[in-house]
Amino acid sequence: MTRILIRNGTVLDQRGERRADVLVDGGVVTAVAPDLSASADDDTAPLTVLDADGCIVSPGFVDLHVHLREPGREEAETIETGSRAAALGGFTAIVAMPNTEPPHDSLTTIEFVRAQARRAGLCEVAPAGCITLGRAGEHLAPLGELAAAGVHLFTDDGNGVQDPALMRRALEYARPLGIVLAQHCEVASLTKGAVMHEGSCCSHLGLPGWPAIAEELMVHRDIELSRLTGAPVHFLHLSTARSVQLVRAAKAEGLAVTAEAAPHHFTLTDELLRTFDATYKVNPPLRTPDDIAAIKAGLRDGTIDAIATDHAPHPPESKEAPLDQAPPGMLGLETALALAITELDLPIADVVAALSWKPAAIAGLDARHGRPVEVGEPANLAVFDPTATWTVVPARLASKSRNTPYAGRTLRGRVRHTVFGGDAVVIDGVAQR
Amino acid sequence: MKHLLDIGDLDAAAIVHLLDLTDHMVEINRRPMPKVPALRGKTVVNLFFEDSTRTRTSFDTAARRLSADVMNFAVSSSSVNKGESLRDTIETITAMGVDAFVVRHSSSGAPTLITRWTNASIVNAGDGWHQHPTQALLDCYTIRTALQRPTGFDGLRIAIVGDVKHSRVARSDVQAFTALGAHVTLVAPPTLLPPDTSGWPVDVSHDLDALLPDLDVVYLLRMQRERMRDALVPSLREYTARYGLTPERAARLAPHALVMHPGPMNRGVEMAVDPAELPGSVVLQQVTNGVAVRMAVLFELLGSGSDLPADTETGTRP
């Protein structure tokens, strides 16, 4: 851990916005004040100076929804390459989804993921646990054992827990453990063979549709199960207008529900599937302009707490297939901030909240991430230029895969530096490890 | 025209042009020696990822009558699952020297994807539930000749009856028939219609009997048994009772009305009469015209103006 001076930036956190330099030493923030250059020079220890002219200095971002593919699918992504993509996207912590092979349903796998993440040293990786063994929706995973080992978020992501009785028991069992169950909302019997949003576009293309109701029924069910059990539920990647309404109403009633939305669900529509390009296949699918408007409104009024990428790498050969044969998913880590700045009509403070301290709290990472930029706080920071424009070039992404739907798009907002655990892991847009 | 992927890519004039060209192919097919050298030296590959003996045979016959060299690849989806990707299959066969691929695939959009990986022309011979453009052309040709409508279908009333949702034939026919000016009504229970047809230039009805006397064409779609599994209809018996062409319904058709079917028929289900006993049945003409239409399409894609098939009797050229 080196000494780092972040100079000439604007600090933005949950306490507000102010012009200040930030000094980091020994993994913590040691000074936040205007013009710290002179006092930093007094010390003889080596100093890394990060220029932040025109930039925002904020708590590091936290992604609630990342597929790192390791163990099992290392040809698509590894914990190291995914961590590097995260760091370049300004994330200092990411929640790794449990749909690996083997899945995160044992301490062995959880500890393996953590060890690989420590080895990479680019961001904190918090593995989410499975709700059910093997994500098969039949038997509960060892929630208590994993909770005792520090796992906070549990999900069968990729699958929704179909059986309402099992989901009820899981929530009842989870409540005293202080953990959060996160649901991939999809009633599977309504989405058999589905490859895209059910609507006029799929009708024209002759592709099986994924109806909005398949998500909304499970959102509704789990709101009611949260009410019944008193246990919190987090809704992953909401994609439909009606889902946003349901969560808004549940929050108005004071229920313990939270929600996230992915950038592709507030930027892209199902019309893109007319190209038959599987880059645009994702689950839940791209939907309509009305749904996009509702997701944006949900982010604006706080119904949707967090922007989470659902970063889902796939190698080119698997995406170069007909839509019904290609796997769903798209990259997200390196474009999330820019899409939020470019496409959401939100104050920067709200964008940072949805990327940082709000998801940190949901993930139970708020002791280390999403902290105010103040003396004594852990030095997990993102420094980004909200006005810089750049063009997405898949070959330049750090992810091992190339399946971004934004190739060639020019976006506004770029991460310049990322400080993780007191180390500058990204300097001027270049990963240092 | 480089490819034929989607009948929606053709406007009325382009469809009529292909149908005019088909007239010449029909003439060739009537000759004692139905073969011309128009595509000599061209290589056409029939690449069928889904079994279809009749469509493959029709394309095969069409290509041979134009003197093209024909290769047939029947790629069962199981062998694809063994490892070779669609891209590798296409690039491998392209490397042998190919002028056109005729592609049948169970996945909607597969022929469109294939255009990325080869310079050869692609003819879509049916992809998933999406498109079957040569079927639409042969259906148009059949209606045009049987009802003597050489320039268009203005005022014709056509009902497409049955499983529109899962039908590439219906999607293609709707576009072609309406492009030529016909008035199309889809007739099916809501479970067999696509989820949203609001943008389609058609009417939707659930009552075949009300439409029958006014129809110029009743187009029956194949009713697949697997639809019962998905609870889309209660039983074939109920389907036939409500939507099948029974003798009673056939008797209420106008005398000039055509009965069409893309084949293979389910006798006793959607075709609950013997088509041989229906004066308006043109089911076999559809098959005959299929060869001529596919000749016209292959010629349009691969022919070079200088080797047009001359009409030997009159000496005219199309």
CB atoms within 10 A of CB A366: 18
* Domain ranges across chain B: 7-131+290-305, 133-285
Please list, in sequence order, all residues whose beta carbon lies within 8 angstroms of the beta carbon of residue A379, skipping any fewer than 6 positions away: A4, A24, A27, A28, A29, A419, A421, A422
Most A-contacting residue of B173, B196, B200, B229 (CB-CB within 10 A), to test interface: B196
Nearest one of A56, A120, A82 to A415, comparing CA atoms: A56
Residue A318: closest CA among chain B residues belongs to which residue? B85
**What's the gap in Å between the CA of B253 and the closest CA on chain A?**
30
**What's the gap in Å between the CA of B239 and the closest CA on chain A?**
22
**Which residue out of A310, A366, A385, A423 is catalytically annotated?**
A310
- Mind listing the pLDDT tens digit for each residue in B122-152? 999 999 999 999 999 999 999 999 999 999 9
- Mind listing the pLDDT tens digit for each residue in B183-212? 999 999 999 999 999 999 999 999 999 999
Is the pLDDT confidence value at B313 over 70? no
In A2-138, where do the E strands start and end?
Answer: 3-7, 10-13, 16-19, 21-25, 28-33, 47-51, 56-59, 61-66, 91-96, 124-127
Reported confidence tier of residue B80, pLDDT bands at 50, 70, 90: low
Intrachain domains B7-131+290-305 and B133-285 with the same fold: yes
Output the pLDDT for position A2: 84
Output the pLDDT for position A326: 96
Any idea which of A98-112, A291-305, B26-40, B213-227 has the lowest mean pLDDT? B213-227
Which A residues, 11 through 70, put their C-beta within 8 Å of a C-beta on chain B?
Answer: none
Output the pLDDT for position B77: 55
Among A203, A207, A322, the residue with its CB nearest the CB of B86 is A322
Please list every residue in chain A whose beta carbon sits closer than 8 Å to the beta carbon of residue B114: none
DSSP letter assigned to residue A279: G
Among A198, A205, A317, the residue with its CB nearest the CB of B109 is A205
Q: What average pLDDT is seen over chain A?
A: 97
Reported confidence tier of residue B312, pLDDT bands at 50, 70, 90: very low
Q: Please, are residues A399 and A431 in contact by the beta-carbon 8 Å criterion?
A: no
* Domain ranges across chain A: 3-57+375-386+411-431, 60-362
Mean pLDDT of A97-116: 98
Which B residues, 133 through 162, put their C-beta within 8 Å of a C-beta on chain A?
Answer: none
Residues facing residue A311 across a β-bridge: A66, A330
Mean pLDDT of B227-251: 92
Q: Please, are residues B161 and B188 in contact by the beta-carbon 8 Å criterion?
A: yes
Output the pLDDT for position B308: 53
Q: Does A204 touch chain B (CB under 8 A)?
A: yes
Is A310 considered catalytic here? yes
Nearest one of A96, A3, A90 to A50, comparing CA atoms: A3
Superfamily of domain A60-362: Metal-dependent hydrolases (3.20.20.140)
What residue type is assigned to position B178 of the chain? T
Q: Does A326 touch chain B (CB under 8 A)?
A: no
Q: Please, are residues A256 and A282 in contact by the beta-carbon 8 Å criterion?
A: no
Any idea which of A43-52, A158-167, B15-24, B73-82 has the lowest mean pLDDT? B73-82
Residue A200: closest CA among chain B residues belongs to which residue? B196
Output the pLDDT for position A290: 98
- Mind listing the pLDDT tens digit for each residue in A198-215? 999 999 999 999 999 999
Which 3 state secondary structure label does DSSP give A188?
A: helix
φ/ψ of residue B161, rounded to 5: -115, 125
Rounded to whole angstroms, what are the CA distances from A93 to A24, A87, A311, A363, B277?
18, 9, 14, 10, 74
Output the pLDDT for position B317: 43
Reported confidence tier of residue B318, pLDDT bands at 50, 70, 90: very low
Mean pLDDT of A98-118: 98
Is the pLDDT confidence value at A35 over 90? yes
Reported confidence tier of residue B310, pLDDT bands at 50, 70, 90: low
- For chain A, state the CA radius of gyration: 21
**What's the gap in Å between the CA of B38 and the closest CA on chain A?**
34
CA gap A234, A230 in Å, rounded: 13
Nearest one of A294, A251, A295, A288 to A271, comparing CA atoms: A288
Output the pLDDT for position B314: 42
Contact across the interface for A322 and B194, Cβ inside 8 Å: no
- Mind listing the pLDDT tens digit for each residue in A173-199? 999 999 999 999 999 999 999 999 999
Any idea which of A13-22, A140-149, A316-325, B75-84 has the lowest mean pLDDT? B75-84
Among A199, A275, A323, the residue with its CB nearest the CB of B108 is A323
Q: Half-sphere exposure of residue A339, counting CA atoms within 13 Å on the CB side? A: 27
Output the pLDDT for position B316: 44
Report the topology of domain B133-285.
Answer: Rossmann fold (3.40.50)
Mean pLDDT of B69-94: 81
The ipTM is 0.93
Please list every residue in chain B whose beta carbon sits closer than 8 Å to the beta carbon of residue A202: 194-195
Q: Please, are residues A413 and A388 in contact by the beta-carbon 8 Å criterion?
A: yes
Which B residues, 171 through 210, put their C-beta within 8 Å of a C-beta on chain A?
Answer: 171, 194-200
Q: Please, are residues A417 and A96 in contact by the beta-carbon 8 Å criterion?
A: no
**What's the gap in Å between the CA of A157 and the closest CA on chain B?**
26
Q: Please, are residues B217 and B158 in contact by the beta-carbon 8 Å criterion?
A: yes
Most A-contacting residue of B87, B113, B167, B169 (CB-CB within 10 A), to test interface: B113
Per CATH, the architecture of B7-131+290-305 is what? 3-Layer(aba) Sandwich (3.40)
Question: What class does CATH assign to A3-57+375-386+411-431?
Answer: mainly beta
Q: Does A199 touch chain B (CB under 8 A)?
A: yes
- Mind listing the pLDDT tens digit for each residue in A127-144? 999 999 999 999 999 999
Residue A198: closest CA among chain B residues belongs to which residue? B195
Contact across the interface for B195 and A321, Cβ inside 8 Å: no
Contact across the interface for B113 and A276, Cβ inside 8 Å: yes
Which B residues, 40 through 99, put their C-beta within 8 Å of a C-beta on chain A?
Answer: 85-87
Contact across the interface for B109 and A322, Cβ inside 8 Å: yes
**What's the gap in Å between the CA of A155 and the closest CA on chain B?**
29
Contact across the interface for B131 and A322, Cβ inside 8 Å: no
Q: Is B71 exposed, middle or buried (0-12, 13-18, 19+ CB in 10 A)?
A: middle
Mean pLDDT of A344-356: 97
